[in-house]
């Protein structure tokens, strides 16, 4: 049977959800910001190390400042959430734990991953220290622009949701 998993990108607007989506799907990036309205959906077939094929269906949502404003139907039938925030904008991660709590409470079966994006704009060492001090948890720091950690992140995620 063909494997198929739904993954939803969440987080404030402008943090780079669409950029990560495009980087992963088509290996493209643009500095030009184009607002996402509603949701765009694309499929990518990934070959797993064990030979199986996985259809990853990614929903790139428009993003809201408050996670609870996200349309519930968008989240139906998900296998993973990727919560993206912007390393250069404090307001995109200051309520992170509240948003994550909301997701894990209402969707306990769905894997939730946290990404800090735009790594190319900050000093990694400083950021790591800052997040340690502020006790902000995250799974991965990426740059959609330079492609840093993007492919790795998605292939790790693929493994995790199929195991």
Ligand X SMILES: Nc1nc2c(ncn2[C@@H]2O[C@H](COP(=O)(O)OP(=O)(O)O)[C@@H](O)[C@H]2O)c(=O)[nH]1
Nearer to another protein, 38 or 124 (CB): 38
Task: Give the 3-state secondary structure of residue 79.
Answer: coil
Task: Find the shortest distance in angstroms from Cβ 33 to another protein.
Answer: 6
Task: Give the 3-state secondary structure of residue 150.
Answer: helix
Q: Please count the other Cβ atoms lying within 10 Å of the Cβ belonging to residue 151.
A: 13
- Pick the binder of ligand X from 7, 8, 10, 15 (CB under 6 A): 15
- Pick the binder of Mg ion from 18, 70, 78, 112 (CB under 5 A): 18
Strands, E, within the chain: which ranges?
3-10, 39-47, 53-61, 80-86, 111-117, 140-141
Q: Residue 17 interacts with ligand X (CB under 6 A)?
A: yes
Please report which helix (H) or strand (E) contains residue 133, including its range: helix 124-133
Task: Find the shortest distance in angstroms from Cβ 71 to ligand X.
Answer: 16
Chain residues that interact with ligand X, rule: CB under 6 A: 13-19, 30-31, 33, 36, 63, 117-118, 120-121, 143-145
């Amino acid at each position: 049977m063909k494997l198929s998993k739904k993954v939803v990108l969440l987080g404030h607007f402008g943090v780079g959800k669409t950029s990560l989506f495009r980087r992963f799907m088509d290996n493209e990036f643009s500095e030009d910001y184009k607002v996402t309205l509603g949701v765009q959906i694309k499929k990518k077939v990934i070959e797993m190390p064990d030979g199986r094929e996985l259809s990853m269906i990614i929903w790139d949502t428009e993003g809201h400042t408050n996670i609870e404003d996200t349309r519930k139907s968008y989240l139906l039938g998900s296998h993973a959430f990727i919560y993206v925030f912007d390393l250069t904008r404090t307001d995109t991660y200051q309520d992170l734990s509240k948003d994550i709590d909301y997701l894990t409470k209402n969707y306990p079966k769905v894997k939730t991953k946290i990404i800090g994006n735009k790594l190319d704009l900050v000093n990694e060492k400083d950021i790591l220290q800052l997040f340690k001090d502020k006790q902000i948890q995250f799974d991965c720091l990426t740059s959609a622009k330079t492609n840093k950690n993007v492919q790795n992140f998605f292939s790790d995620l693929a493994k995790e949701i199929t195991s």
